[in-house]
Amino acid sequence: MIPCKMLAIAELFRVRRSFALPLTILNPLRHFAILMDRSAISVAVFDKLAERYKEKYMDLTLYDESYREFCQLIRPGRASVLEAACGPGNVSRFLMAQRPELDLLGIDLAPRMVDLARAAVPSARFAIHDCRRLADLQMRFDGIICAFGLPYLSQQETKDFLHTIAQALEPDGVLYLSTMLGANEESGFETEDCSSGDQVYVNYHNEGQIMSLLEDLRFTVIKRRRIPSPSTAPKATTDLIVIARI
């Protein structure tokens, strides 16, 4: 069940888009939105659009080769893997098809996304959990994958997230990251679904900053590539994929 505060925030932005509010009103509303937890808005939207998101991305094959490379780098046997921001389970489903023996845990803050992931990948475990509170799991993993979770984390949250990942990975553990590239200044509210008009706050990350963070945490980058975003994406961008070992 989505807290009333989340629904109220989402409604605020629907009202804002529906009416031409005076500038004197818009500015306080924008300031109010900045002060609120943008993640809460994203959770409400993704929970509402979970089925539609599944339809768009569940069978997308654009990133499969990079997921396969991640699987091949994880130690043999019943390795432990975390998928942070697992969505409807599209990535987890691929990983378990490649490596059925994996002990895989997927986490997401949107309850409906977690429900869909459980249905799609019954051999894995899923939980409603904030990837910004990864340390609360008190677990270590042989591999951690976060496919397009970074666009919903601020610059500081991303730095803290990667620091926590470095601590949560076992020696020789493998990290997979993907995100949309762009200047930090381009970050802002964007329409996630044209038919519904719902918006989420998207954080654009600079490739150099991400690579610098990984270097500071003593990750060794194994794969690094840029590819165009899929046609199903709300906005055409360049995507960054990084696979690294610690």
Look at residue 157 and tell me if it is in a domain. Answer: yes
Domain count for the chain, please give it: 1
Find all residues with CB under 8 Å of 53, minimum gap 6, and list them: 46, 87, 88, 113
- Helices 50-57, 38-48: axis angle to 10 degrees equals 70
Question: Does a structural domain hold residue 116?
Answer: yes
Three-state DSSP class for residue 175: strand
pLDDT score, position 26:
41
**Domain at 194, CATH number:** 3.40.50.150
Q: Which tokens sit at 115? A: 């429900």
Helices (H), the chain: 4-18, 23-35, 38-48, 50-57, 64-73, 90-98, 111-120, 155-168, 207-216
Q: How far apart are CA 174 and CA 192, in angstroms?
A: 30
Q: For residue 20, is it within any domain?
A: no
Q: How far apart are CA 159 and CA 165, in angstroms?
A: 10
Residue 13 resides in a domain: no
For 19-56, the pLDDT digits (tens) are 333 333 345 455 444 435 788 899 999 999 999 999 99
Q: Give Cα separations from 13 to 10, 33, 177, 200, 235 (angstroms).
A: 5, 9, 30, 10, 19
User: Could you tell me the residue range of the domain that residue 173 belongs to?
Assistant: 51-245
Say if 149 falls within a structural domain: yes
- DSSP letters, 191-243, are ES-TTT--EEEE--B-HHHHHHHHHHTTPEEEEEEEEEPPTTSSS--EEEEEE
User: What six digits make up the tokens of 213?
Assistant: 């963070």
Residues of the chain under the 70 pLDDT cut: 1-36, 194-195
Q: What is the pLDDT of residue 194?
A: 66
Model pLDDT, residue 19: 31
Please indicate, yes or no, if residue 9 is contained in any of the structural domains: no
- Domain assignment present for 40: no
For residue 161, being part of any structural domain is answered with yes
